[in-house]
A = this chain, B = another copy of it.
Amino acid sequence: MSSIHDVAQAAGVSTATVSRALRGLPNVSEPTRLRIRGIADELGYVASSNASGLASGRTDTMGVAVPSVSRWFYTTVLEGVDSALRDAGFDMLLYNLASREGDRERTFHRTLLRKRTDAFIAIGVDFTSAERQQLLSLGHPILAIGGPVPGIRNIGVDDRAVARRATEHLIELGHRDIVHLGGPDDEGLNSRLPVDRRAGFMEAMREANLEIRDEWLLSGGFAVEASREVIAQVFRTSARPTAVFASSDEMAFGAVLAAQQSGLRVPEDVSVIGIDNHDMATSFGLTTIAQDPYAQGVLGANLLLGELRGEPARRTSIRADHELIVRESTAPPRRES
């Protein structure tokens, strides 16, 4: 591993010039720059980020926190963020905040706060107010994507409106007996999100004067398998619903699978609608409310990147778009019953 000194010596210039040349700063003659670049390549020289970070105060790194890396929404946002970062030449330090409580505090202290990043994005994570304090005290641009985090601006869909729209679609089709599949996420998803979506569901139901049965307010933990199991039980009862509202596509997948395995046809016997427009939604023929997490990630990262470049900071949150996509999993309920 050669250092800047080696390059300077080999080129017969000062380290200052090498530094300027390699970073493309002005005030270096073109021949000199070329010569230096050549020598640097030859020597395989790459600047140490620690050293330059220490000297300059910049790290060219963004911290990104996720509650889990195995859920479609998070990983899709992540890809968006990553893409924007790559374009900007930034690295990504990934923090998986899932896990045990104690662990989390250590993570915060030992890693998150070590001045290793220039900016920070939280995807779908909740913070305690102490954690928020610490984050904010870092004094660098911060942004949340996904569920709203109090005190931190965010990018995300209007969860209430989204759930409302989905429910209304079922109601418009003529459904009256609708199950709600939602509930908290075991993997530490943002806690407001399931609540807001449920509220949207209930609003739509109330406005249509439809009954909301307690035993039909189900929790699938935002996971396929748990949803499949809980919905399968409902399908076994005599009073079957004609439609399932799922707070996420993953839960909707569980419902579709449960239906098929119970010998019910979708949508003839039961309609299913989800939220997200997951990658696999097409394959399932799932009607859903689409959102675009990748775009949210790109937008979020670029916003932060812009502020790092000195653009004025935006203080307010951004509402991301959503859109109903009708596929084959929803249809009017069959006549009789």
A: residues with CB less than 8 A from B are 1, 44, 46-51, 53-54, 59, 61, 68-70, 72, 75-76, 78-79, 82-83, 86, 89, 91-96, 98-99, 103, 106-107, 109-111, 113-116, 134, 137-139, 224-225, 228, 253-254, 257, 260-261, 279-280, 282-285
Contacts and interface: CB of A to CB of B under 8 A. Distances in A.
Contact of A261 (B59, B72, B82, B285): B285
A263 to B, nearest CB: 11
B253 A280 contact: yes
B69 A69 contact: yes
A91 B91 CA distance: 13
B115 A96 contact: no
Contacts of A137: 44
Most buried by B among A93, A109, A254: A93
Contacts of A98: 79
A86 B115 contact: no
Given A79-B70, A82-B96, A114-B46, A257 B279 contact: no
A267 to B, nearest CB: 13
A75 B89 CA distance: 23
B69 A78 contact: yes
B96 A79 contact: yes
Contact of A111 (B72, B91, B138, B224): B91
A14 to B, nearest CB: 21
A237 to B, nearest CB: 21
Most buried by B among A1, A70, A109, A261: A70
Contact of A69 (B48, B79, B261): B79
Nearest to A281: B225
A100 B255 CA distance: 38
Contact of A50 (B47, B54, B70, B107): B54
Nearest to A107: B86
Nearest to A261: B285
B225 A115 contact: no
A72 B54 CA distance: 37
Contact of A279 (B75, B106, B113, B224): B224
A76 B82 contact: no
A48 B282 CA distance: 47
A1 B116 CA distance: 13
Contacts of A115: 1, 46, 48-50
Contact of A114 (B48, B116, B224, B254): B48
Contacts of A95: 91-92
A96 B116 CA distance: 19
A138 to B, nearest CB: 8
A273 to B, nearest CB: 18
Nearest to A92: B94
A292 to B, nearest CB: 14
Given A69-B79, A83-B99, A99-B83, A280 B114 contact: no
A223 to B, nearest CB: 8
Given A46-B113, A51-B54, A254-B283, 15 more contacts: A1-B138, A44-B137, A47-B114, A48-B54, A50-B50, A50-B53, A69-B69, A70-B76, A75-B75, A79-B98, A82-B94, A86-B103, A89-B106, A92-B95, A253-B280
